[in-house]
Amino acid sequence: MALVDHREIVRVLLAAMVSMFLGALDQSIVATALPSIGHDLNALTLLAWVISAYMLSMTAATPVVGKLSDIHGRKQTLRYCTIVFAASSVVCGSAKNMPLLVAGRLLQGLGGAGLITIAQATIADIVAPRERGRYVGYIAAVWGSSALIGPLLGGVLTEYLNWRWIFFINIPLAGIVLYLSEKRLPSRARAHLGARIAYIDAALFSAATAALLLGLTLGGVSFPWKSTPVLACFGGAALLGIVFAIRERSVAEPIIPPRFMVDPVTAPLFAVAFVVYGLYFTIAVLVPMYFQLGLDQAPTQAGAFLVPILLSNSVLALWSGHYVSRTGTYHLPAMLGFPMVIIALVVLGLFATQLTVTQSVSLLIVAGLGIGPMLPILNVVAQNAAPVEDTGAVIGALAFFRMVGGTVLSAAGTAVIMYRVNLDSSLADLVYTDPRLIPAATRLAVRSAFGEIFLGGAAALLVALIVFRMIEHRPLRSSRDTPSVDTD
């Protein structure tokens, strides 16, 4: 049962949803504005860093922020993250050159990590796992909606105002988050109050993550995959990661408790989240390019075509959450969702060069319907498997694998596009000035590249489905006591 009355839950839920919306929005809002940013700042070679910088710092910071909120409380941690997010948005919107914009995005990612992680942890603090599904369903719907609203909103702001407004719009939204969190988030002492995080471990983790994502970002774009800089990034990530893992076994407050990586629930769940959320993020970020370059659509239209996916995704995410709360089981929604996405992506992949806009949107709606049920389930199952005092840590760890999945899969998709399509500065200028002049051969190459991306995504989801079936079933708890293991 819920730990507090429904009225208080609704008050907290609203604050959490606005926080989640703001943090998730900036993962994708810049997608349709990239040509305008590159043209205005005259820095096309650094354009990919506008997205990568945010994802890099957010991914590295998420488990650390989750652990900090376990120790120091949700409200205080969220307060500082929101202030950092708002201040860095001013830096981004005012940037006169690309290096300053990238620096602002790095800082923005640190704040965004807290906005997303703490929103989920706050609901977990006041609602038992059995009842949590219905509320996490709303959070998942907001996350999914934000990822898809982003390209649409970014296109509208860029086309009718200026690309700088995709950052300035964060200022009033951050003010709303601060107001709601100060008024509505509970001020509860945490189980770890008085403990201290191992900042050396936090630095090791952040450096390892940064090196990994840097290698993924540079590989195949700025440098060949087998080049010294890319291999050095991967080697550094591996070395720092090993040192981090060794140290985590001996510290009192591990950032990612080692038991998460061997637990028969959380370990495979992290792998599934890597694929599911990663693929979803990749679709939200790259598919507007499919519509713009492959199907000759304007930026605003490219974003608008994602709205039906948003609606289908959100509806079934809410149904899935209520189903979990009503039955206490969670396998059925996922078993319905996985095949829907796989089939839709296979058809998209096989016929990418022939499909019309309407057909492509229809198939993406089916994919959205399939992904929707999985979004709340992964969060609830992970939280149910972790001790109460590690709520923030498990949410942070899940978010880490989710965002690494987004970075890895979007990097892989970008690499396919770069390999198949000659995305040089002249093509970028055409996208900005007159997309109608893009050669037909280039449009066909873009469609063909996305066909490979869709088929690759279907294969990855098939593996994720097999792994999901391996997750040990544990009944959802009706209170926030220590998780029990299903002995059946």
Please give the Cα distance from 252 to 257 (Å, whole number).
10
Instruction: Kindly report, residue by residue over 345-398, the tens digit of the pLDDT.
Output: 999 999 988 888 889 989 988 998 888 888 778 878 887 777 777 777 787 788
CB 139 within 8 A of CB 119: yes
Report the alpha-carbon distance of residue 151 to residue 49 in Å, rounded.
17
Task: Calculate helix-pair angle for 391-420, 98-126, nearest 10 degrees.
Answer: 140
State how far the Cα of 38 lies from the Cα of 27, in Å rounded to an integer: 18
Q: What is the pLDDT of residues 73-97, one digit of tens each?
A: 778 888 888 999 999 999 998 888 8
pLDDT at 313 over 80: no
| Least reliable range by pLDDT among 177-186, 303-312, 445-454 | 303-312
**Residue pair 406/85 in contact by the 8 Å Cβ criterion:** no
CA-nearest of 52, 111, 49, 33 to 408 is 52
Between the alpha carbon of residue 380 and those of residues 21, 38, 207, 268, 459, the distances in Å are 19, 40, 29, 14, 25
pLDDT of residue 410: 80
Give the mean model confidence (pLDDT) for residues 130-146: 70
Query: For 220-237, what is the mean pLDDT?
Result: 83
Rounded (10°) angle between helices 74-94 and 98-126: 160
- Pick the range with the lowest mean pLDDT from 206-210, 263-267, 479-483: 479-483
Which position has the token pair 């990663």? Answer: 278
Q: Would you say 367 and 345 are in contact if contact means Cβ atoms under 8 Å apart?
A: yes
Give the burial string for 309-331 (b: 16+ CB within 10 Å, else e). Answer: bbbbbbebbbbbbebbbeeeebe
- Residue 364: what residue type? L
Mean pLDDT of 130-149: 70
Tell me, what's the pLDDT at 479?
54
pLDDT for position 375: 78
Q: What per-residue confidence (pLDDT) applies to 487? A: 33
| pLDDT of res. 189 | 45
Q: Percent of the chain having pLDDT more than 70?
A: 84
Q: How many CB atoms within 10 Å of residue 246?
A: 11
Q: Give 219's strand partners.
A: 223
Q: Convert the pLDDT of each residue in 415-474 to its tens digit.
A: 788 777 765 555 555 555 556 667 777 788 888 889 999 999 999 999 999 999 888 777
Q: N- to C-terminal Cα distance for the chain? A: 23
Residue 483, pLDDT above cutoff 60: no
Residue 22: the pLDDT is 82
pLDDT band at 159 (very low <50, low <70, confident <90, very high): confident
The overall longest dimension of the chain from CA atoms, in Å, is: 64
All domains of the chain, ordered by start, with CATH?
A: 6-184+253-469 (1.20.1250.20), 198-252 (no CATH)
**Interatomic CA distance for residues 61 and 58, integer angstroms:** 5
pLDDT at 64: 80
> In the prediction, which pLDDT does 221 show?
65
Quote the CA–CA distance of 443 and 465 in Å, as a whole number.
33
Mean pLDDT of 122-143: 71
Q: How many CA atoms lie within 13 A of 464 on its CB side?
A: 29
Which residues in 259-273 are b (16+ Cβ under 10 Å) and which e? ebeebebbbbbbbbb
Report the number of secondary-structure helices (H) and strands (E) in the chain.
19, 0
Coil vs helix vs strand at 223: strand
14: nearest Cα among 188, 187, 181: 181
479's enclosing H/E stretch is none
Prediction pTM value: 0.74
Which whole number is the average pLDDT over 308-336? 78
Give the closest residue to 369 by CA, choosing from 318, 301, 332, 305: 318
Helix H or strand E segment including 137: helix 129-160
* Structural Rg of the chain based on CA atoms: 21
- Using alpha carbons only, give the angle 198, 199, 205 rounded to the nearest 5 degrees: 95
Q: Is the pLDDT of residue 183 over 50?
A: yes
What's residue 83's pLDDT? 92
Q: Round to whole Å and give the CA distance between 172 and 282.
A: 28
Position 342 pLDDT exceeds 90: yes
Rounded Cα distance between 360 and 373, Å, is: 21
More confident residue, 46 or 116: 116
Give the DSSP letter string of 84-142: HHHHHHHHHHH-SSHHHHHHHHHHHHHHHHHHHHHHHHHHHHHS-HHHHHHHHHHHHHH
4-13, 176-185, 203-212: range with lowest mean pLDDT: 4-13
Q: pLDDT band at residue 204, thresholds of 50, 70 and 90?
A: confident
pLDDT over 70 (residue 4)? no
Per-residue pLDDT of 106-131, as tens digits, reads 899 888 888 888 877 777 777 766 66
Q: Is the confidence at residue 172, as pLDDT, over 80?
A: yes
- Give SS3 for 197: coil
Between residues 284 and 436, which one has the greater pLDDT? Answer: 284
